[in-house]
Amino acid sequence: MPTRLRQTAMGVLIGLTVMAAPLARAESLLRDAGVEHALNNLARPLLTAAGLPANRTQVYVVNDTSLNAYVVNSRAIFINAGLILRMQSAAQLQSVIAHETAHIANGHFARRGLNAQAARNATAVGIALGVAAGAAAGNPGAGAGIALGAQNSARRVFYGHTREEETAADKSGLRFMARAGVDPHALAEVLTIFEGQEDMLPGRKDPYAQSHPMSRDRLRAVALTADALTPADSDREDAEYWFARAKMKLSAYLRSPSYTLTRIKAKDQSDAALIGRALAYFKTPDLGAARAQMDALLARHPDDAYLQELSGWIELESGQVAPAIAAYARAAELAPKEPLILAGYGRALLAENNRDADARALEILEKARDRDRYDSRLLRDLSVAYARAGKDGLASLATAERYALQGQMNDAALHAQRAAGRLPTGSPAWARAQDVIRATEQNQRR
């Protein structure tokens, strides 16, 4: 996992970039190219079965160990890390994705009035809406006014599911699962986890039970509908493989090295097990042991961009810049359109700290930013690259956008004003600085 979080005494675990981290109780996203690739692989057949464009809707991991999942609009499905870790099979995780896909296909969020205006104060939600607005306008910066206004939790907005909507989403989701060759009984297995929570006090319920109203009748209806469906023939091996990789990577990030190492059987030499051991040994820290696991993985899959990226991240966080650059360069060669990989590559080049590497880093980081404007760590690195290149106005703009994404609106306003004064009036960069300024002013009026 290519970038850094600061959530333990080590200061560096695995590189799951926080997409937005505004207020103490607000939500943030764990960004990792490998995990997102795995989840989108699992989602793709379900989106297709629902008649939705398979590459338009992305699955993101919320940095929350409680159990929940939700949709914001047609472009984003959010799943808590805790829910992913609780799932025991690819089919169970796909049942969650299918259910949320059904909310999209059935237009439930639209009927609840969940639009850009209503969710402007959201954190990750506001950012997702900004992405959608920019994509719709053909201009990634067009949604900045929405995304950069992110401040408060939008739970009260998108948790407004009704029992009728849940029943409809269950039925549609089960059909999507069957069409995609996923056993629909997996949804009943997931709902069983939450059975009986309706009798608990509100503060003791898991968020999933609050956002997806439960009942024994609902569980029985799901089981009966699943019994009546026959899944299409499909090879489940690939789905189980990517599920295992994603779950292990998240688990090794969120849990201690001892937890990871004691739960992986000594005889387990699967790719997922090697990933888990590599991350656990890195966190121990034991770079030699971590490298041994990565060497075994790369010997099996030399053309796997996401394993090359993980190798580069481990080297970079261990202070080994040259091998990190080599691994990231290979990852970028294999996945030249993956912004999180490009961001890591740029970061590694910046660590070399010479003029040629800085120039190359700036080029790569700009390419990554054009594909993903809502990665705060990328914006931090981009501001460094601009400063080294003597482009102080753009450096201030990247810093302003980073602070806005993190909800530090006073700091965002300061740097946006500084950027606006240094950038050519009317230029695209100047207009983005104005977006930040307007967002901070709106925040002050609320």
Give the residue from 204, 227, 250 where a domain finishes.
Answer: 227
272 and 393 in a single domain? The answer is yes
Phi-psi region of 390 (alpha: psi -120 to 50; beta: other; left: phi over 0): left
- Answer yes or no: is 202 within a domain: yes
Mean pLDDT across 47-59 = 94
pLDDT of residue 214: 62
pLDDT tens across 1-28, in order?
544 333 322 222 233 333 332 222 335 7
pLDDT of residue 442: 75
pLDDT tens across 232-277, in order?
999 999 999 999 999 999 999 999 999 999 999 999 999 999 999 9
**Residues 435, 139 contacting (CB under 8 angstroms):** no
184 and 280 in a single domain? The answer is no
44 and 157 in a single domain? The answer is yes
Q: How far apart are CA 417 and CA 403, in angstroms?
A: 13
pLDDT tens across 180-209, in order?
999 999 999 999 987 755 544 445 455 555
pLDDT of residue 197: 53
Average pLDDT, the chain: 82
pLDDT of residue 73: 78
What's the total number of domains in the chain? 2
The pTM score is: 0.83
- Answer yes or no: is 428 within a domain: yes
Provide the CA 116 distance to its chain's centre, in angstroms: 20
196 and 311 in a single domain? The answer is no
Beta partners for 31? 17
217 and 274 in a single domain? The answer is no
Strands, sheet with 17-18, edge to edge from the N-terminal-most edge strand: 17-18, 29-31, 58-62, 76-80, 69-73
- CATH classification of the domain holding 221: 3.30.2010.10
40 and 126 in a single domain? The answer is yes
The boundaries of the domain holding residue 223 are 17-227
**Residues 270, 244 contacting (CB under 8 angstroms):** yes
On the question of pLDDT at 106 being above 50, the answer is yes
pLDDT tens across 58-96, in order?
999 988 888 889 887 788 899 999 999 999 999 999 999
All residues at 6 or more sequence positions from 159 whose CB lies less than 8 Å from its CB, including other chains: 70, 207, 210, 211
On the question of pLDDT at 37 being above 60, the answer is yes
In degrees, rounded to 5, the angle at the alpha carbon of residue 137 between the alpha carbons of residues 135 and 140 is: 50
**Tokens encoding 352:** 């070399």
284 and 164 in a single domain? The answer is no
Comparing C-alpha atoms, which of 220, 232, 222, 274 is closest to residue 252? Answer: 274
**Residues 61, 43 contacting (CB under 8 angstroms):** no
220 and 364 in a single domain? The answer is no
Percent of the chain that is helix, strand, coil (3-state, to 5)? 65, 5, 30
- Residue 326 CB-density burial (10 A; 0-12 exposed, 13-18 middle, 19+ buried): middle
pLDDT tens across 287-322, in order?
999 999 999 999 999 999 999 999 999 999 999 999
206 and 266 in a single domain? The answer is no
- Answer yes or no: is 293 within a domain: yes
- Answer yes or no: is 22 within a domain: yes
Mean pLDDT across 122-133 = 37
140 and 212 in a single domain? The answer is yes
Q: How far apart are CA 329 and CA 364, in angstroms?
A: 11
184 and 293 in a single domain? The answer is no
- Answer yes or no: is 72 within a domain: yes
- CATH classification of the domain holding 393: 1.25.40.10
pLDDT of residue 307: 98
The dihedral through the CA atoms of 187, 190, 195, 199 has a sign that is negative
